Structure 1
C-alpha cells in the first residue's frame, strides 16, 4: 500500500502542477489523502473538481473542522495513513514531483528492511521573486546520485537536513513514534530525528522533486524577539524529552545518543535562563562549553540580541 498525504492551505497558485505530477507518476499511489486546512481561496473546490475530472476514485479530499495549521494537519494525515501497512509519502502543495519519485523510493525501501525513512535530494527552483536560500537536501556533487547515506546521531541531531516533502516512510514506524508526537511538532522533525535515533534513516542523493521557492513558502521565520526565542527553546526541550522517553521505552543501546540529548538539554536550559534571568556569566560559560550542540553558530548572538533589545539585560 502506497499512500500520499497532502495538507493544503490557500494553494490555488501552484496546486494544479503538483496534482499533475502526482497523477502522472510511473508507479501510481494506491491512495491519495488530501486535507484542506480551511482555505479561503477555493483550494478545496479546485481539488474536488480535479479529482472528478480525472476520475481519481482512490483520491480523497476533506476539509479540516478548523484551521489546525500545517503541523497538526500533517500529523493527523500521517496517523490516518499509518493504519494500513505500507509506505507513506508526505507531499507539499507547491512542488513538482519527478515522474519516477514513488517508483524509485518505494523500490529502495522494499528491498531494504532496515530503512524506516528514506529522503531523496531536491532540485530547488525560484520564481516570482523567491528569495535565494540555502536548501538542505540539494544534490551533493561529491557523491554518486544513487549513493545511500546513513547519518549518525550526533551533536547536530536537531538539524533536519531534508524537507518533509522528500520523505518516504514506513507506516509501522509512524505508528511506533505516534505516542511521542505532540501537536506542535513538525512532521519532518519527528520522522527525521526518531529514525536518526534508531539508525533507520537513509539519504538518497538523487533529486526526485523540483522544490519550489517563492514569496509565500510556509517555512519558519526566525524571530529575534525574546518571547519567540523562549517559546522555540521550550519546544526543543519538549522534543528532546520525547526522544528520551523513546530511549527508555524501547530496546536498544542508546547510551551515546542519550549523552547527546543530555548535553543538548543542558545548553537549552542555560539559554533559557539567560533569556529569562538576564546576562549571567555561569549561563554564558555553560553555553560556550556545549556550543557544538547549538542549532547554529548564530544562536548565542541571537539570544544576546533578543535579550538586549528587550531591555532585560542585567
Structure 2
C-alpha cells in the first residue's frame, strides 16, 4: 500500500538553538512519505547553515527545500511558504522551529483525515504537551473544545494551534488561491486557516497531544502556562493599551471581502450583522451582543466577547 505524501512547511527565524531537535523529530516520522519546505525569514544566526547541513546529510532519506527571504514576520513568512510549496502532495502540515513532534504525529493526522470525505476542506489539529526549554512537561493546551468548531466560533476565537495543523489537498489549494495580499488585518496565519476551514469544511480536533510545544522567552507566539489571574491581568492590560482593539472586526472584514461570494446566504448575513451592529447605538449593541450567533468556547471568554462588542472595541 502506498504511503501518503505529506509536505511539512517550516518557517524559521533565528532558531539555531532548537532547529536540530525539531528536524530530528521530523526525520523520525513513521508511515508517511515526507518532503520539508523551509523558508528562512531573514535569520542572523546559524539557522540556515544547520538546515543546509541536514539537507545534505539526509539527502538520501528526505528532500528538504530551503528558501531564504527577507524578514516578513511570522504571518507573511508562512503565507509566502504556502505560495512556494508545490501542489503535488496528499496532505500539508505546518511546523514551528523549536518544538519536538511525536513520531506518529503525521500518520495519526493522516489516518483521521482519511476517515472523512476527501472532497471537502478538512483540517486536523491537536492538543499539545507544553514543555519548558529542557522538554520537561508543563501542562496540556488547548483542551478539547466543548462547543462546535464552526465559523461562528472561528470568527471570534482561534482554537487550533498552527504547528499541529495538517490539511488535505482540497483545503491547501483553496487557501493558496485566496491568500490575503494585505497581512495587516490578519491576526495570525493559523487563525485565518481555522476560520476558512470552519466556514467551508470540517475541523478534526485530536485531544491527544502530538507535539512537545516548547515554552521559552524566545517564543514568538504560543500557549500560555500562566496562572488564571496572571493570564487575565495580562489580557486586560493588552486590551487597555489598545493592542487588541478592532482585531476581530478587521479580520472579519478581510475574510468577508475575499470569500463573500463563496459563503452561504446565512453566513453572509451573520458576518454583515456582526460588522454593522457594532456602529449602532448602545442599546442596539447590547441587544445584538446578548443574542449574537458568535461564541467563544469558555463562558468567561464569551462574556468578554460580549463586553468588548458593547464597548465598540471588537
TM-score with structure 1 setting the length: 0.75
Q: What is residue 274 of structure 1 aligned with on the other side?
A: none
* Compared CA separation, residues 268 and 210, structure 1 to 2 (3 A): farther
2:87 paired with 1:77: no
| 1:209 CA displacement | 1.0
CA distance, structure 2, for counterparts of residue 41 and residue 176 of structure 1: 35
Does residue 116 (structure 1) correspond to residue 128 (structure 2)? The answer is no
Q: Counterparts of 1:91 and 1:188 in 2: how far apart (Å)? A: 11
Structure 1 regions of 5+ residues with no counterpart?
143-148, 271-281, 308-314
Match among 24, 41, 45 for residue 45 of structure 2: 41
What is the alpha-carbon distance in structure 1 between the residues aligned to residue 215 and residue 278 of structure 2? 31
Q: Indicate which of 148, 162, 165 corresponds to 2:163.
A: 165
Within 5 A, what are the aligned runs for 1:226-305?
228-230=243-245, 233=246, 235-245=247-257, 248-250=260-262, 254-266=264-276, 268-269=278-279, 282-283=281-282, 286=285, 289-290=288-289, 293=294, 296=301, 297-298=303-304
Indicate yes or no: 2:203 matched with 1:201: yes
* Structure 1 residues 199 and 50: CA distance shift in structure 2, 3 A: closer
Partner of 2:64 in structure 1? 59
* Residue in 2 that maps onto 1:311: none
CA pair 236-268 structure 1, distance change in 2 beyond 3 A: farther
Pick closer, same or farther for the CA change 1:240–1:33 going to 2, 3 Å: same
Question: What is the aligned partner in structure 2 of residue 191 from structure 1?
Answer: 193
Q: In the alignment, what sits opposite 1:32? A: 36
Question: Structure 1 residue 118: deviation in Å?
Answer: 1.2
Cα separation, 2, equivalents of 1:298 and 1:14: 37
**Contact 2:13-2:42 within 8 A present in 1 as well:** yes
> Does the C-alpha gap of structure 1 residues 94 and 267 become closer, same or farther in structure 2, counting only changes over 3 Å?
farther
Number of matched residues?
281
Q: Does the Cα contact within 8 Å between 1:21 and 1:99 map onto a contact in 2?
A: yes
Instruction: Provide closer, same or farther for how the CA distance between residues 304 and 158 of structure 1 changes in structure 2, counting only shifts above 3 A.
Output: closer
Is there any run of 5+ residues in structure 2 with no aligned partner, and where? 223-233
1:179 and 2:178 equivalent?
Answer: yes
Note if contact 2:124-2:165 (Cα within 8 Å) is conserved in structure 1. Answer: yes
Contact 1:150 1:199 in 2 (8 A): no
- Contact 1:226 1:303 (8 Å CA) reproduced: no
* d(CA) in 2 for partners of 1:213, 1:229: 22
Distance apart, 1:52 and its partner CA: 1.9
Shift of 1:194: 0.9
Q: TM-score under structure 2 normalisation?
A: 0.75
CA distance in 2, matches of 1:134, 1:107: 22
| Residues 155/31 of structure 1: CA separation in 2 closer, same or farther (3 Å cut) | closer
* Superposed CA offset, 1:99-150 (max 9, x none): 00111111222332245211122111234799x89932x467x9xxxxxx96
**Partner residue in 2 for 1:15:** 19
CA RMSD of aligned residues (A): 3.5
